[in-house]
Amino acid sequence: MSATPTSGLERRIGLWSAIAVVIGSTVGSGIFRSPAGIADKLPGPVPMLLSWVAGGIFALCGALTLAEVASALPQTGGIYVFLRQGWGRMTAFVFGWGQLAMIRAASLGAISITFAEYFWRVSKGAEATPEEAMIVRYIAAGAILLTGTFNIVGVKVGAAFTNLTVLAKYGGLLFIIAVAFAVGLPKTGGFYTPAIPPGSFALPAFGLALVSTLWAFDGWADIVYNGGEVRDPQRNLPRSLIGGTLLVIAIYLLANLAYLAVLPIEEIRVSKLVAADVAQRVIGPLGVAFVSVTVMISTFGTLNTVLFTSPRIFFAMAEDGLLFRGVGAVHPRFGTPYVAIALTATLGAVFVLLRSFEQLADAFVTAFLPFYFLAVASIFRLRGRPEYRPTFRCPGYPVVPLLFMVAVLYLLGNALIDPGSRWQTVGVLGACLVGVPLYYLTVGRRPPSRA
């Protein structure tokens, strides 16, 4: 089981840049936009906070597990490689197909729509009208193509931009939190926690709320896609996965406590951008402008980071002969997988012109969950092989990966049982499973090009 990548990509990403990728991929629109949907599904502040705690535990269990697998397989492609080594080429192909047909484009589309909405709000001084909605989508598509260009120009350019926007978005959130606690909390006189009526807390509703929470947490594993470009990967991949995830959990929990310190749960439920409403309450119009700019920077930075990481999936597939060879081309001057980046950006731009934010975000989370399950479960298969030599061992094994896997099964089962999400879930999973016959009809009979 080789730990040495065979691609032509150089190891240029250091520890801080790797941690920045984890934070940059994760902290995007979710912490600003998801709290309303989560609060609307749950009966009060405590269940709302519990959903964020559960999402953090879920992400941390996944990060601890994949930190071990990544230390043994620090190759370009990340989860794609873990699935190929753990479950075989067909499973890896289906993952790549799901990424190509839906997952990655849906992620880019949802993030870019939020960026475009607040770009419009800042530049025009008002939200877009229904007649202007299509213009906003064109702005979103343009943002995807622009950040794709940044990443084609070079790894250092993409990493530097990620570092800069991570500092801005994390710092912006810390400022909002500090102002909420220092100014808002004394004004409100404390946290407002209404009594929860008996029987109002239901596990199915909590499961649906947790899907929205996981949208906000997604990105914790994205650095593994760049495993072949991280310096000293056996040390830096585990450190960045775990350290970045812990920093995200901390800022998310603090942000939600800050929201609840200023706004009652009834207002959070109807707030499209809760951080802006908190800033409006505490600082006034200047606070709303600050939050809007912070959201713009946050989402634009996340677009850049997603296009810095996810095209490596298609690059690795092309190297394996599971996708057109040309997709694995490395730019002769910039040293980047430019065809894979251009393909990912183009798909994202097309999706954002066709689907709404809610459709894109829900499709992304539902489609990705089975592959997260298989990636984490691969640790059980890989540990039994003599050539598997990780430099980091998952603490709490086997409980930690099993907790993650049980949570995924609960979320998928809940989505299938719930009448409101059942058929959308079936449709999304069915679209991914189309990859099975597609594999056998196309590349399944070819011999592997490399181990």
Stretch 144-158: mean pLDDT, rounded? 85
pLDDT band at 194 (very low <50, low <70, confident <90, very high): low
Please work out, in degrees rounded to the nearest 5, the angle formed at the alpha carbon of residue 106 by the alpha carbons of 429 and 45.
Answer: 85
The whole-angstrom separation of Cα 296 and Cα 302 is 10
Q: Mean pLDDT, to the nearest integer, of 5-13?
A: 70
d(CA 367, CA 15): 30
Give the tens place of pLDDT for each residue, 230-274: 999 999 999 999 999 999 999 999 999 999 999 888 888 888 778
What is the percent of the chain with per-residue pLDDT over 90, rounded to a whole number? 41
pTM of the entire structure? Answer: 0.88
Burial class (CB in 10 A: 0-12, 13-18, 19+), 235: middle
Task: Assess contact for 285 and 56: CB atoms under 8 A.
Answer: no
| Paired tokens of 380 | 């059980």
Overall CATH class of domain 15-441: mainly alpha
φ, ψ dihedrals at 230, nearest 5° = -90, 130
- Is 420 buried (19+), middle (13-18) or exposed (0-12) by CB count in 10 A? exposed
Q: How far apart are CA 423 and CA 71, in angstroms?
A: 38
Q: What's the pLDDT at 6?
A: 46
Q: Are 370 and 166 in contact (CB under 8 A)?
A: no
**DSSP letter, residue 180:** I
179-204: b or e for each residue (b if 16 or more CB lie within 10 Å)?
bbbeebbeebeeebeeeeeeeeeeee
Token look-up 């679209």 returns: 431
Residue 160 tokens read as 């530097």
Kindly tell me if the per-residue pLDDT of 428 is higher than 90: no
What's the pLDDT score for residue 358? Answer: 60
pLDDT of residue 4: 44
Residue 208 pLDDT exceeds 80: no
pLDDT tens-digit profile of 357-367? 666 666 666 78
Give the pLDDT confidence score for residue 145 in this predicted structure.
Answer: 94
Bridge partners of residue 230, in order along the sequence = 13
| Distances, alpha carbon 216 to alpha carbons 41, 116, 361, in Å | 16, 18, 10
Give the side-chain half-sphere CA count within 13 A for 188. Answer: 21
Query: pLDDT for 264-306, tens place per residue?
Result: 888 888 887 788 888 888 888 888 888 888 888 888 988 988 8
Yes or no: say if 94 and 435 are a contact pair by the CB < 8 Å rule: yes
3-state helix, strand, coil in the chain (%, to 5): 75, 0, 25
At 29-78, the pLDDT tens digits run 788 878 888 888 887 888 899 999 999 999 999 999 999 999 999 999 99
Confidence (pLDDT) at 445: 64
pLDDT of residue 199: 54
In 180-202, alpha helices (H): 185-188
Angle 318-323-326 from CA coordinates, rounded to 5°: 60
Interval 319-349: pLDDT, tens: 899 988 899 898 888 888 999 999 999 988 9
Handedness of CA 210, 26, 313, 16 (dihedral sign): negative
User: What is the chain's mean pLDDT, rounded?
Assistant: 86
Rounded to whole angstroms, the Cα distance separating 95 from 37 reads 28
3-state secondary structure of 32: helix
| Per-residue pLDDT tens digits for 379-416 | 999 998 999 999 999 999 999 999 999 988 888 887 78
**Residue 274 CA: distances (Å) to CA of 243, 299, 351, 427:** 27, 16, 26, 31
| Three-class SS of 292-355 | HHHHHHHHHHHHHHHHHHCHHHHHHHHHHCCCCHHHHCCCCCCCCCHHHHHHHHHHHHHHHCCC
